[in-house]
């Protein structure tokens, strides 16, 4: 924290992509990658890549490129994904179930440690599959208690829109630090809680704009 110079928001948004790219390169056994290669894979300008990496130190090797391993390490450190983050999901419909089984979360040490629903009995007999081990679906009434007991820091909302604000309030009362809202409705949280929305329709609208123009 504050270990690196202030990193521009635009750079932060690209970091996650670089990371995925580096993981792929590492899997292929590549030890070193040039800014040109990374730029090609991530679909950005090579100078951009170098400038982004320069924000967290000067450790490329001229004439060679960057150490894949070292880069990966630094990016994870900056993002804060170099440690486990404990997550709870509310609303175990299709989308909630998809997130419980989302394998990509494991790579970044995201761990779903609690799942809630309004009618847990209806949800596959209280138990839902999770990657590796099953997870018990609890009634939403127990959210505050369980979120605190299990040290949950991030809440995911995958309920229908009418319930989203209520669930957000419960998460706030339970002292989560961040909320990701997948319900297609705007919710309000106090300014000390970080809120991010994932609106599928917005993504489609943007796609359609570029198809139409």
Partner DNA sequence: TATTGTGAAGCCTTTCACAGCA
Partner DNA sequence: TGCTGTGAAAGGCTTCACAATA
Residue 203, binding choice from DNA, its own copies, none, Cβ under 5 to 8 Å by partner class: its own copies
Q: Is 48 in the site for its own copies (CB under 8 A)?
A: no
Neighbours of 59 (CB within 10 A): 12
How buried is 33 (Cβ within 10 angstroms: 0-12 exposed, 13-18 middle, 19+ buried)? Answer: buried
Out of its own copies, DNA, none, which partner does residue 151 contact, by CB within 5 to 8 A per kind? none
- Least separation in angstroms between residue 192's CB and its own copies is 11
Q: Smallest distance, Å, CB 74 to DNA?
A: 11
Q: State the chain's maximal CA–CA distance in angstroms.
A: 62
Report the relative pairing of strands 135-139 and 110-117 from DSSP bridges.
parallel
> 14 vs 166, which CB is nearer to DNA?
14
Give the span between the Cα atoms of 114 and 172, in whole angstroms.
Answer: 16
Helix (H) / strand (E) element for 111: namely strand 110-117
Contacting positions for DNA (CB under 7 A): 8-11, 34-36, 44-48, 50-51, 53-54, 58-66
Helix pair 46-54, 9-27: axis angle to 10 deg: 100
Q: Which residues bind its own copies (CB under 8 A)?
A: 1-2, 12-13, 15-17, 19-21, 24, 41, 78-81, 85, 93-95, 97-99, 101-102, 104-105, 107-108, 110, 153-154, 161, 177-178, 180, 184, 186, 194, 196, 198-213
């Amino acid at each position: 924290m504050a270990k690196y110079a202030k990193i521009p928001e635009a750079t932060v948004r690209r970091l996650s992509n670089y990371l995925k790219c580096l993981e792929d390169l590492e899997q292929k056994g590549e030890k070193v990658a040039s800014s040109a290669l990374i730029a090609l894979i991530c679909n950005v300008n090579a100078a951009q890549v170098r400038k982004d990496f320069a924000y967290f130190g000067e450790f490329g090797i001229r004439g060679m490129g960057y150490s894949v391993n070292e880069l990966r390490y630094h990016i994870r450190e900056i993002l804060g994904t170099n440690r486990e983050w404990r997550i709870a999901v509310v609303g175990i419909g299709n989308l909630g179930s998809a997130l419980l089984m989302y394998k990509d979360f494991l790579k970044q040490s995201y761990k779903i440690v609690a799942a809630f629903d309004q009618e847990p009995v209806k949800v596959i007999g209280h138990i839902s599959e999770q990657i590796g081990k099953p997870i018990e679906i609890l009634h939403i009434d127990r959210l505050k208690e369980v979120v605190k007991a299990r040290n949950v820091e991030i809440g995911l909302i995958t309920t229908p829109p009418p319930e989203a604000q209520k669930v957000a309030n419960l998460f706030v009362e339970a002292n989560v630090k961040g909320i990701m809202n997948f319900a297609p409705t705007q919710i309000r949280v106090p300014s000390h809680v970080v809120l991010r929305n994932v609106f599928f329709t917005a993504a489609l609208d943007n796609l359609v704009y570029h198809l139409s123009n």
